[in-house]
Amino acid sequence: MLDESKNAVRTGKWTEKSAGGCHMFSKAYEQKVDKFTWTSNPRFHLKLLIDPNQQARVKITLQRPQKAWKKQIGMNLVGCMIGFYVYSANQEPTKEGILNREGTKFVPWNEISEELYLESQPDGYYIMPSTYEPGKQGPFILSISTDVDFQLNALE
């Protein structure tokens, strides 16, 4: 059995309002205001329950159910690629503020994982699952595994 205080699984869904695409659809890259859709992606708040100045290894895995995505992937493989961003919860998401920008990649597979070392922060972190292009709608699963206790909540 997995220790529930160190492992969590949450389901989510990109909808018409929350399928914002990657960071290329932000003020830094787009000219038209109606194309600034990146920050509308679903977000999850991660709070590590560790002492100040401590670090924790955090494995983040984003998955999507193959059956639910099969048709969309067949029509637009690149647009349906998945990835995620991690940034400090005390700031607005920007390309420069992405903590996993070195490892941020979008893949055409149904799963992507990355391990990060995160420090204790009073406000915690946001994890933002994303498809490469905006408007790609469907379910996803976010899994977190750490060597410390934590809290993970979906934001509305």
Tell me the pTM.
0.93
Smallest CA-to-CA distance from 12 within 134, 152, 121, 113 is with: 152
Q: Is the pLDDT of residue 133 over 90?
A: yes
**Rounded Cα–Cα distance for residues 42 and 140 (Å):** 10
Give the lowest-confidence range in 11-20, 55-64, 72-81, 96-105.
96-105
Q: What angle do CA 32, 76, 109 make, to 5 degrees?
A: 110
- Spell 58-97 as b/e; 16+ CB within 10 A means b: bebbbbbeeeebeebbeeeeebbbbbbbbbbbeeebebee
pLDDT at 2: 67
CA 77 to chain centre: 19
